[in-house]
Structure 1
């Protein structure tokens, strides 16, 4: 029986690809304000309880197909429900949900049948999860020990960065192309919400336009201080960006790193890190690589490592290039 829904929740009929719609369809109750990635664990849990089958690597497709037609339904790219897409973008309210349809069709990458008696939870899930966390933690600790051997600026130098990327302690920033991993939205729902807001077409506050215009005007005067007085240049940049970035940027050191500016959050966690160059090619390293190296060292610091599990946030790396070539990279 479907759970009663409140105004901000809806109940959707779900079918796993190739399953019998009359015998194996099930439903899930989800929040309208959530994104489709949030639904994955619920689908996995409900399906396991009903079928004793674990499913992994889910891809969700919009069905909205009558029961008798779902067997011929084609899972096309146009029907794919991106994990960062909001539920309400498809079903704005409960009145838009037709209970006579299969709303979501799921294509799992793999299935695993549990050969044991039916229980309320997967019998090996806890031990498998604990083993995964232990291996993940050991990998993190080994990586942190390795990066502490050099500073972020030294590690970002082209020769040193190439050596790091060819070894076991590489970073997944897509350089080279094969050094990339799963999309960041899979690590925590907050990243999906951040990307959704980033792609929003909602009007921008006029004050943001004004602060941006003021910064562009100020940035034209920075060339004279590129080599002669970088500290004065950095302070000018930090103070001019406070209103745009939402806080006071300061210089703060950690093990092997002192970025051009940081903004700290609760428990001294770093929520913004900024590296500045006047032009691409000045200095001894690519600013985007140096920003990534700085990120690794700030969050790998002994004082903040304990918070990486509990204080996951929408992190921003700002690479400022002045003036005409200025751009900002956000993560």
Structure 2
């Protein structure tokens, strides 16, 4: 018998510690290709192991294979099941965030043979995520990089949890039923729990932070909407009057209403026509405006619509369905670069008959969708005597300005370097500086001080290494210790007061 034959027989022979019974297939040695998260393809390594072994055994084998230090225990390794062909991964740094289909293997007793129908020897089979404290000294190559001055176990673990929560949420959103199905009242109450997928106030306990803290477009829209001195082109009044007449008509179905209102929105938004799209994860959006980012090669949606022919038509709330459409769009693989470099701010227009509601949305660890207005009647009542047309003209001009802000934002968005600590800041409020005695002091958010989504207090570090507390409030009584106070807005900034105080451990 040749040496090669001996190797084959040995590979298929049972281990001295394995038992099997007549008729039962003997355990076989299989080769599994593994890769450490953030490493390039050329760093992939094989692990030979019996297919009857468990994930716990695999962790031991991997720990030995990578010569992990004594401080790294096998139990602390995260094992993610993936299926990435070598040719797709060639030349790229492989990160879990870039892989849409993946599954974390948590139960150590799970048999390896149950993980795959068959092992493809030309694919990466497992991605290994090392504990935060064992990150190597080379520059990090993924979005969870933390600059050396912030490298503490507490900061790293909290930030990694944010990234992990977002990865898990993206998978949940992609697997969620299409918006027209998931937004049905009977479905939504089940869909948005265990786990909670979208912060959208439905039900009320699904409340997230205010979207206006994460991008200035939302606060500015509300300021403009309340500004009766807003500069408006004279022709806009006639356009709005004609639009209101169209909005108040009775239409055969939703499609006819959508077609009738599109020309006004095309004119309002600089001649860009709203279009219907289908995402690659099962969503059909009524209408969206698309903005090309030619550098990143991806498209953003500054504004999306959800139409209902009349209130109650279809049995779904367009604000819920629009929020689901937003989440579906930004969770798809075609938007990963923008998603990893921004909080994906968008405006949602929910329309039911002659009523319209504006919602703001951002994607943090989960999508946050917040109504910025009530449902507004797009008709001039006899009681209004023309006044409502004036108000609606301001309303639509405010929307136009918001669109321009988002359109420019997405056109000019750059992809942050993989080792840029700014990348994690997309999870935090956009305000990151304050003034003391005329000097501008910048700070970097570390993490939130409480788990509750509606708690608006963060821990941060200034450029001169001072640890501070950053709080946002609408109240004059901010609740922080006056003796440690460093800064407080004299008046609200786009609706919110920022208060800075020293951190006392």
Q: TM-score range by the shorter chain?
A: 0.5 to 0.7
**TM-superposition CA deviations, 1:96-122 (whole Å, max 9, x none):** xxxxxxxxxxxxxxxxxxxxxxxxx99
Q: 1:201-240 to 2 correspondence within 5 Å?
A: 201-205=228-232, 206-221=234-249, 223-226=250-253, 230-240=254-264
SS of the residue corresponding to residue 276 of structure 2 reads coil
Measure, in 2, the Cα distance between the counterparts of 1:311 and 1:202.
32
2:352 equivalent to 1:321: yes
Distance 1:139 1:198, change over 3 A: farther
Q: What is aligned with 1:249?
A: 274
SS of the residue corresponding to residue 270 of structure 1 reads strand
Distance 1:314 1:197, change over 3 A: farther
Measure, in 2, the Cα distance between the counterparts of 1:269 and 1:234.
21
**TM-superposition CA deviations, 1:165-218 (whole Å, max 9, x none):** 332133111122121122113323444444433443433413332222111112
Measure, in 2, the Cα distance between the counterparts of 1:202 and 1:313.
30
Measure, in 1, the Cα distance between the counterparts of 2:274 and 2:257.
13
Measure, in 1, the Cα distance between the counterparts of 2:307 and 2:338.
27
**TM-superposition CA deviations, 1:203-239 (whole Å, max 9, x none):** 3413332222111112233x3321xxx4344223222
Larger radius of gyration: 2
TM-score of the two chains, using structure 1 as the length reference: 0.55
Q: What is aligned with 1:46?
A: none
Distance 1:125 1:196, change over 3 A: farther
Q: Which has the higher helix share?
A: 1
Q: What is aligned with 2:437?
A: none
2:191 equivalent to 1:164: yes
2:201 equivalent to 1:174: yes
Residue 297 of structure 1, CA deviation: 0.3
Among residues 127, 147, 154, which one is paired with 2:173 in the alignment?
A: 147
Q: 1:18-167 to 2 correspondence within 5 Å?
A: 123-124=149-150, 128-149=154-175, 150-167=177-194
Measure, in 1, the Cα distance between the counterparts of 2:152 and 2:273.
43
Q: Which has the higher strand share?
A: 2
Q: Number of paired residues?
A: 205
Residue 322 of structure 1, CA deviation: 1.8
Residue 132 of structure 1, CA deviation: 3.5
Measure, in 1, the Cα distance between the counterparts of 2:353 and 2:227.
27
